[in-house]
Amino acid sequence: MSAPEMIALALLSFLLSLLLSRIIAEKIRSPRFMGLDVHKPDRPSIPKVGGIAFTAGYSLAMLVHWMLVGGTTELVLLVSPLAAAAIGFLEDLRELNPILKPLLLLLPGVPIILLSAYNPYPFIPLIGGIRITLIYPLLVLAAYTVVANAVNSVDVLNGSLALSVLPVLLLLAGISWLEGALSPMLACLILSAALLGFLRYNWYPAKIFSGNVGSNLVAAVITTVAITARVEVVALVALLPHILNEFLIIVSMGGLKSGKSLTARPIRVVSGMIVSSQRIDDPITFVRLITSQRPMGEAAVSKSMALLSAYSSALALLTYLLGEVTLSWAR
């Protein structure tokens, strides 16, 4: 596929996401699709399924791509994220059991396994390629659950989802291009464009939320790209802030629990500023850690999360370059 065609698909994704984000922000008022913005003094109610907008933008562009070029990789880059988004939409309509949700999120990995769209020889810097033929399919299934929960854990503030994953997507796009994995590269660019369209209405003060439908799609795209482009370790390093955030939440909450079931909160809002909780037993999150030194505005915290993601993505790039050095020595 030529560069102009790729640009056209990214533009299609951006415009559709922007248009649908506006429609959702202005038209959706059904209580089942609304959520409270708890970090605002007046706690406004806004649509919580804005992720449908960039899901549609990404999916349509990738569908066109698959229809033009075909291929197994192209198909799983469309189907697996859509499956994850459908599970997220189900949770947006009705809260899922915290044990059932991880099990359902195994399903997006099934198309990759059934279509054998993976290579069970991941490359690890300083070690080289390792053979895990029997274990790798299980890791594929587990990866979707881990990444989905990790990405969802940072989708807590206006703009935090898009800002925290854009550095990861752009990094994976560049490395996929270097590896000759053009469809994974295109998937990252298309999703980045869709997120920019969505961010227009999700930035502070947000008019829409992403919801689980959106965070699940983002997580599934990143996971599918990592597997099909064979950059699993690089993606893992880039996602370290997201994964560590989810790990801290699980440990501090004492296991997999719904946040809505807890009365303790890691932060509170005072005069429009986010203030870290001083109670030792309250859940630990990156937002709480970022605001532990001083109260911060919501937009400032989201920007700090973006910088943290950019830093981990830079470390992921160094990891990739280290792997290239390892390969050159092996030769």
DSSP of 48-60: S-THHHHHHHHHH
Q: Is the pLDDT of residue 224 over 90?
A: yes
Pick from 19, 59, 79: nearest CA to 191: 59
Could you give the percent of the chain with pLDDT greater than 90?
74
Report how far apart, in Å, the C-alpha atoms of 187 and of each of 10, 111, 190, 203, 257 are: 9, 17, 5, 23, 32
| Residues whose CB falls within 8 Å of the CB of residue 76, separated by 6 or more in sequence, listed in order | 111, 112, 115, 117, 224, 228
DSSP letter string over 226-270?
HHHTT-HHHHHHHTHHHHHHHHHHHHHHTSS--GGG-S--SEEEE
313 phi and psi angles, rounded to 5 deg: -70, -35
Give SS3 for 25: helix
Alpha-carbon span 125 to 280, nearest angstrom: 38
Asked if residues 249 and 237 have their Cβ atoms less than 8 Å apart, the reply is: no
- Per-domain residue ranges for the chain? 3-254+299-330
- What pLDDT is stored for residue 283 in this prediction? 84
- What pLDDT is stored for residue 2 in this prediction? 85
Asked if residues 206 and 46 have their Cβ atoms less than 8 Å apart, the reply is: yes
Q: Please name every residue paired with 129 in a beta bridge, in sequence order, or none if there are none.
A: 123
pLDDT tens for 294-329 read 999 999 999 999 999 999 999 999 999 987 766 555
Dihedral (CA of 298, 301, 303, 309) sign: negative
Asked if residues 235 and 225 have their Cβ atoms less than 8 Å apart, the reply is: yes
- What pLDDT is stored for residue 262 in this prediction? 56
- Tokens 């699980």 belong to 250
Pick from 96, 75, 65, 57: nearest CA to 218: 57
Secondary structure letter of residue 260 according to DSSP = G
Alpha-carbon span 313 to 167, nearest angstrom: 6
Report how far apart, in Å, the C-alpha atoms of 144 and of each of 23, 44, 124, 217 are: 30, 32, 20, 10
Asked if residues 242 and 153 have their Cβ atoms less than 8 Å apart, the reply is: yes
Give SS3 for 276: strand
Per the structure block, which two tokens stand in for 211? 């919801």
Report how far apart, in Å, the C-alpha atoms of 1 and of each of 21, 27, 30, 264 are: 28, 37, 42, 52
Asked if residues 154 and 160 have their Cβ atoms less than 8 Å apart, the reply is: yes
pLDDT tens for 137-154 read 999 999 999 999 999 999
Flag whether the pTM goes above 0.75. yes
243 phi and psi angles, rounded to 5 deg: -70, -40
Peptide bond into 137 cis (omega under 30): no
Average pLDDT, stretch 234-242?
96
pLDDT tens for 246-274 read 999 888 877 666 555 555 678 888 888 99
DSSP letter string over 138-165?
HHHHHHHHHHHHHHHHTTTSTTHHHHHH
Per the structure block, which two tokens stand in for 293? 């030194």
51-69 and 3-27 are packed helices; what angle lies between their axes, rounded to 10 degrees? 150
Average pLDDT, stretch 174-190?
96
Alpha-carbon span 315 to 217, nearest angstrom: 24
